[in-house]
């Protein structure tokens, strides 16, 4: 079973296309830090189709056991910093972060394996859990989730949906 620590962005993106169930099916144990739970609870009504609650069986909330590393606190937002801190502490096999700066810090400074929402979709397609990466990405974009065209093209090629 894999342990994945997630930031808020991918949860919102997957929720927007009713695909949150892909996370536990693909990666097993999914954890968010308390800081991300607070962000989810404070999210504007309607931003998530997923009704976040403390009783969600597959999404585990954990408090940090130590203060956030000062480097993280000065460079990243609260949620990203907490995700990286928790991933180091547990330790986690991977972090799920979409924001470029957070991904770069997690990968280069802390040597964490980083995946993003697009990777979740490609993995799901490869395991037969999703019929079309292109359709999922299109729906995410229609719901306001920004994804660079180059990332979309690479994902479609990797998913076998474009030559």
Per the CATH hierarchy, to which homologous superfamily does domain 3-117 belong? 5'-nuclease (3.40.50.1010)
Residue 7 · residue 37 · CB < 8 Å: no
Q: Exposed (0-12), middle (13-18) or buried (19+): which is 117, by Cβ within 10 Å?
A: buried
The predicted-structure confidence for 46-87, as pLDDT tens digits, reads as follows 555 555 555 467 888 999 998 898 989 999 999 999 999 999
Res 125: pLDDT: 96
In the chain, domain spans? 3-117
Give residue 49's pLDDT.
Answer: 52
Residue 144 pLDDT grade (very low, low, confident, very high; cuts 50, 70, 90): confident
**107, 104, 121: which is closest to 155 by C-alpha?**
121
Q: Find the helix or strand (DSSP H, E) in which 133 lies.
A: helix 133-142
Predicted TM-score (pTM) of the model is 0.90
The pLDDT of residue 15: 86
pLDDT at residue 124, rounded to an integer? 97
> Which residue would you say has higher pLDDT here, 40 or 53?
40
Pair 20, 11: CB distance under 8 Å:
yes
How far is the C-alpha of 157 from the C-alpha of 163, rounded, in Å?
Answer: 6
Question: 122-133 pLDDT, tens per residue?
Answer: 999 999 999 999
Average pLDDT of the chain to the nearest whole number? 89
Alpha-carbon distance of 157 to 106, in angstroms, equals 26
């Amino acid at each position: 079973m894999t342990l994945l620590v997630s930031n808020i962005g991918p949860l919102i993106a997957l929720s927007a296309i009713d695909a949150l169930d892909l996370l536990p099916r693909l990666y097993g144990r999914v954890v968010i830090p308390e800081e991300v739970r607070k962000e989810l609870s404070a999210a504007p009504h309607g931003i998530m189709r997923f009704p976040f609650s403390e009783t969600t069986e597959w999404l585990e909330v954990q408090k940090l056991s130590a203060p956030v590393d000062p480097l993280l606190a000065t460079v990243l937002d609260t949620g990203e910093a907490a995700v990286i801190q928790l991933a180091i502490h547990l330790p986690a096999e991977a972090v799920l972060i979409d924001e470029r700066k957070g991904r770069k810090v997690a990968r280069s400074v802390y040597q964490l394996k980083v995946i993003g929402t697009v990777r979740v979709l490609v993995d799901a397609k490869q395991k037969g859990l999703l019929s079309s990466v292109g359709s999922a990405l299109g729906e995410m974009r229609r719901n306001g989730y920004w994804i660079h065209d180059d990332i979309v093209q690479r994902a479609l090629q990797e998913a076998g949906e474009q030559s």
